[in-house]
């Protein structure tokens, strides 16, 4: 089963990227890293579809069986980078496919907004966004070591295990 993890932070040193890399490594999944991918701003022009990164995104998403979307919470919402990436895609890439959501927030009880917005977008793309979801606050990270704490990693793992089981049942 091909799981694709989308890192929705535009920041190379973002916490979301740490979490996304952790998940991609753990699941042996493909990582779409929006902090390094250099996607242009979607403008609907036909010539954008011939750009190498846009084609790569299209092919990777088309071949995926399941997705994990991670977004930072920015100003009470999902990141512009993730929304822009999803605007290049459509229901053909997501229909009937399971999606698991994570938000990375500032620790002031944020995160739920980007989760809810991603959930709405997933519905618009005909994806099966699973009910489980998780917010990762700054205390979930050991910043100097660019990794999740043991406690956060365990909680993430339990979400990933349950998601993988569900995705395997759906793709059987
Ligand atoms: C532009 C911007 C807006 C932010 N707005 C919020 C917010 O509304 N709620 C919140 O909980 N955290 C907010 N934060 C904090 C981020 O969610 C937090 O720093 C998180 O680590 C961001 O993910 P990143 O490090 O991958 O970029 C904001 C940070 C930035 C840079």
Name the residue at shortest CA distance from atom 18 of ligand 1. 106
CA dist., res. 118 & res. 111, Å (int) = 11
- Mean pLDDT, the chain, integer: 97
Nearest atom in ligand 1 to the alpha carbon of residue 77 is 8
DSSP states along 68-93: EEEEE-BTTB--HHHHHHHHT--HHH
Q: What integer pLDDT is reported at residue 40 of this predicted model? A: 97
Under 8 Å CB-to-CB from 74, ≥6 apart: which residues? 80, 114
Query: What residue owns the CA closest to ligand 1's atom 24?
Result: 14
Identify the CATH number of the domain in which residue 44 sits: 3.40.50.360
| Confidence band of 143 (pLDDT split at 50, 70, 90) | very high
Q: Which domain holds residue 124?
A: 3-171
User: How high is the pLDDT of residue 171?
Assistant: 84
* Calpha distance 128→100 (Å, rounded): 9
Residues 75-134: tens digit of each pLDDT: 999 999 999 999 999 999 999 999 999 999 999 999 999 999 999 999 999 999 999 999
Task: Report whether residue 14 contacts ligand 1, using a CB cutoff of 6 Å.
Answer: yes
Average pLDDT over residues 145-151: 98
Task: Please give the pLDDT value at position 172.
Answer: 77
Share of the chain above pLDDT 90, in %: 98
Which residue has a Cα nearest atom 19 of ligand 1? 106
Look at the chain and report how many structural domains it folds into. 1
């Amino acid at each position: 089963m091909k799981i694709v993890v989308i890192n929705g932070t535009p920041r190379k040193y973002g916490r979301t990227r740490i979490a996304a890399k952790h998940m991609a490594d753990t699941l042996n999944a493909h990582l779409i890293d929006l902090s390094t991918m250099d996607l242009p701003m979607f403008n609907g022009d036909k010539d954008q579809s011939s750009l190498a990164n846009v084609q790569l995104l299209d092919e990777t998403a088309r071949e995926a069986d399941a997705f994990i979307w991670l977004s930072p919470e920015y100003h009470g919402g999902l990141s512009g980078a993730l929304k822009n990436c999803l605007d290049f895609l459509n229901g053909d890439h997501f229909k009937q496919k399971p999606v698991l959501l994570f938000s990375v927030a500032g620790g002031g009880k944020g995160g739920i907004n980007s989760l809810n917005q991603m959930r709405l977008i997933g519905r618009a793309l005909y994806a099966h966004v699973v009910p489980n979801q998780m917010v990762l606050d700054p205390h979930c990270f050991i910043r100097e070591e660019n990794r999740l704490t043991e406690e956060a990693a365990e909680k993430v793992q339990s979400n990933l295990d349950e998601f993988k089981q569900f995705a395997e049942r759906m793709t059987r």
